[in-house]
């Protein structure tokens, strides 16, 4: 891939898949900014540890579910004399329960964090990308946005909405040199899964044709390609990477 240096913003970039994406974009030669929840001391410590490993990442505390908080983020990035060329909308949470038991608060917080954040963050950086006639937006959805999952009406609805957002925005900005794509990972070897009971984890792996969990670095490599110069003809796509668990 070409090594033109850009500036990338990865929301929720301090753990799991987001952290792998941040490192992959840095390895591709880009300046990388991540967001984390405000006042998150673990994120600050993680950034310091990354610096010790040679990853000079910059972090901002922001509530991506709140438009005013994201406005403050955009203002600070501007004051720091940076412009965002690559945006990875990765931030997301789960609050699982069957619909009969799901609290309205848990519906709302998942939709705000996983879907409203797409509007909040993208809205603030799309216009400058169009003016510069270059931009890459990668929206992280999920296998469960396509196939659904018991106990995840809130999460599945939000993640399905991610690709609807992608397809509409891709049409709006294509002629301005900005691409918008979705990546839908399957089950990955992140802390959320690897700390499950062994029998539960084994049942999940049994449903994956390749016989294993995905690695965050595998998804991150895909994201880095989509953010590259060579991926300019790809837009409005949903790239599923799930070990054959759900073929669409």
Q: Per residue in 173-206, pLDDT tens? A: 999 999 999 999 999 998 877 777 888 889 889 9
Residue 1 confidence (pLDDT):
62
Domains and CATH numbers, the chain: 7-241 (3.40.50.720)
The answer, yes or no, to whether residue 140 has pLDDT greater than 80, is: yes
Mean pLDDT of the chain: 95
> By the 8 A CB rule, do 212 and 243 touch?
yes
Catalytic residue among 26, 60, 155, 187: 155
Three-state DSSP class for 4? coil
Exposure string of 58-84, with b = 16+ CB inside 10 Å and e = fewer, is: ebbebbbbbbebbeebbeebeeeeeeb
Tens-place pLDDT, residues 48-99: 999 999 999 999 999 999 999 999 999 999 999 999 999 999 999 999 999 9
DSSP state of 243: T
The answer, yes or no, to whether residue 2 has pLDDT greater than 70, is: no
55 is catalytic: no
């Amino acid at each position: 891939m070409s090594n033109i240096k850009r500036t990338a913003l990865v929301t929720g970039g301090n753990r799991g898949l987001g952290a792998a994406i941040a490192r992959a974009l840095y390895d591709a030669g880009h300046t990388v900014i991540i967001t984390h929840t405000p006042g998150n001391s673990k994120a600050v410590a993680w950034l310091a540890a990354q610096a010790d490993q040679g990853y000079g990442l910059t972090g901002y505390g922001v509530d991506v579910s709140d438009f005013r908080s994201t406005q403050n983020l955009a203002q600070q990035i501007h004051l720091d004399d940076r412009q965002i060329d690559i945006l990875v909308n990765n931030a997301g949470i789960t609050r699982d329960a069957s619909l009969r038991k799901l609290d309205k608060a848990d519906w709302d917080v998942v939709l705000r964090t996983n879907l409203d954040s797409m509007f909040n963050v993208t809205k603030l950086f799309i216009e400058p990308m169009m003016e510069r006639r270059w931009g890459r937006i990668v929206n992280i959805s999920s296998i469960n946005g396509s196939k659904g999952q018991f106990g995840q009406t809130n999460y599945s609805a939000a993640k399905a909405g991610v690709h609807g957002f992608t397809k509409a925005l891709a049409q709006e900005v294509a002629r301005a040199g900005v691409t918008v794509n979705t990546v839908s990972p399957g089950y990955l070897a992140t802390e959320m899964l690897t700390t499950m009971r062994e029998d539960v984890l084994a049942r999940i792996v049994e449903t994956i044709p390749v016989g294993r969990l995905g690695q965050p670095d595998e998804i991150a490599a895909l994201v880095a390609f989509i953010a590259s110069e060579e991926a300019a003809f790809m837009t409005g796509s949903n790239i599923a990477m799930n070990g054959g668990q759900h073929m669409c």
